[in-house]
């Protein structure tokens, strides 16, 4: 019984409890650049272009409303809140800003369309 309880507890903590955890990438742009984000289970995130890390931060995701709140190292610690719009059986996503005062990041985020890396 103890083992069963422990298993359930471990499953609860280590199974991705949302549709976001994992690696997501864009299609190659006209110039061939691929942008990606790795949402880690420990609530840290890594953004990259062509396998080169360009941003790092932490996030919280509310799967009920598909709302992500995060800070990264690119915008002076300014927190951003976005609604994630999942589509294609939750295999693709895009971001819609709820609040982000960092204009450059906002412009980049709203252009992104990412697909789950399998």
> In this complex, which beta carbon is closest to other proteins, that of residue 47 or of residue 95?
47
> Is 14 in a helix, a strand, or coil?
helix
Is residue 99 a contact point for other proteins (CB under 8 A)?
A: no
Token pair listed for 6? 């422990």
Nearest to 47 by CA among 95, 103, 99, 97: 95
Tokens of 83: 């609604």
Residue 108 host element (H or E): helix 103-111
CB of 83 to other proteins, least distance (A): 25
**Which residues ranging from 41 to 80 are in contact with other proteins (CB under 8 A)?**
46, 48-56, 73-74, 76
Q: DSSP character for 26?
A: P
Q: DSSP code of 27?
A: P
Q: Looking at 21, 40, 102, 116, which residue binds other proteins (CB under 8 A)?
A: 40
Kindly state the smallest distance separating residue 70's Cβ from other proteins, in Å: 15
Nearer to other proteins, 29 or 90 (CB): 29
106 binds other proteins (CB under 8 A): no
33 contributes a contact to other proteins by CB under 8 A: yes
Beta strands 35-39 and 67-72: pairing type?
A: unpaired
Binding site for other proteins (CB under 8 A): 31, 33, 38, 40, 46, 48-56, 73-74, 76
């Amino acid at each position: 019984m103890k083992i069963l309880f422990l298993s359930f507890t471990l499953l609860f903590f280590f199974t991705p409890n949302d549709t976001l955890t994992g690696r997501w990438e864009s299609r190659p742009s006209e110039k061939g650049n691929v942008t990606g984000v790795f949402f880690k289970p420990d609530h840290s995130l890594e953004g990259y272009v062509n396998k080169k890390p360009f941003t790092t931060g932490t996030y919280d995701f509310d799967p009920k409303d598909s709302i992500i709140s995060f800070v990264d190292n690119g915008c002076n610690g300014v927190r951003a809140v976005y609604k994630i719009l999942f589509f294609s059986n939750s295999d693709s996503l895009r971001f819609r800003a709820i609040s982000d005062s960092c204009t450059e990041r906002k412009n980049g985020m709203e252009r992104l369309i990412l697909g789950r890396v399998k």
